[in-house]
Amino acid sequence: MNFNTLDWNLENRVLTLTLQRPEFLNAFTVEMAHELIAAFNAASENDAVRAIVVTGDGRAFCAGMDLRGDGNVFGLDEGLSPTVADLTDRLLRGVRDLGGRVTLSIFNCKKPVIAAINGAAVGIGATMTLAADLRLASEHARIGFVFKRLGLVPEACSTWF
C-alpha cells in the first residue's frame, strides 16, 4: 500500500507500520490519521498479515499533534452550525475525535498490535499506543500525557484506556 506519512512493510507475515515524518519527530497530522485508520482496517482483513508492529522513523515515535500549521490543525469543520436535532442524531451514530478513530481502529483490529516506542511518544503519540496489545519501550522512549499543560482535553479515548 502507498501512503505519504507511513511505510507499510510486510515481511514474514509481520506488518511493520512506520510513521514517516522524522524531520518533524513523526508529528501527527490529519493525513496521518486517515492513513493509519486505512492501514489498520486493511491489515485487519488481510490474511497475509499475522501481527502488526507500529513504530516511528528516526529518534521519535510520535511527538503528538503537529501544531505548526495555520488554521485548524485538528481538521475540525468550523463551518458547521449543528442544531439540537443534528447533535442528537450524531450522538446516536457516535461522535469521535480523529485521534479516537485511530485508537479505535487499533483496538478493533483483528490482528495483535505491538507498539514499538522508539523515542518520544507525546499526546496522541502516547494515547494511540494504549489500544495496542503490547507496548515495548526502548531505553530512549519518553512518554508524555501533556494535555493539561497545553490546556487541552485528553483525546483519542485516552481517559477510557
The per-residue pLDDT for range 72-87, each reduced to its tens digit, is 555 555 676 767 776 6
Q: What is the pLDDT of residue 51?
A: 98
Please, is 105 exposed, middle or buried when counting C-beta atoms within 10 Å of its C-beta (0-12, 13-18, 19+)? Answer: buried
Model confidence pLDDT, tens digit, residues 55-74: 999 999 999 888 786 655 55
Residue 11: pLDDT band (50, 70, 90) is: very high
For the chain, what percent of residues have pLDDT higher than 90?
63
- 137 CB neighbour count, 10 Å cutoff: 16
Reported confidence tier of residue 91, pLDDT bands at 50, 70, 90:
low
Q: Worst-scoring range by mean pLDDT, 25-29, 36-40, 64-68?
A: 64-68
* Residue 116: closest CA among 57, 62, 55: 55
Share of the chain above pLDDT 70, in %: 84
Q: In what order do the strands lie in the sheet with 51-56?
A: 6-11, 14-19, 51-56, 113-117, 134-137
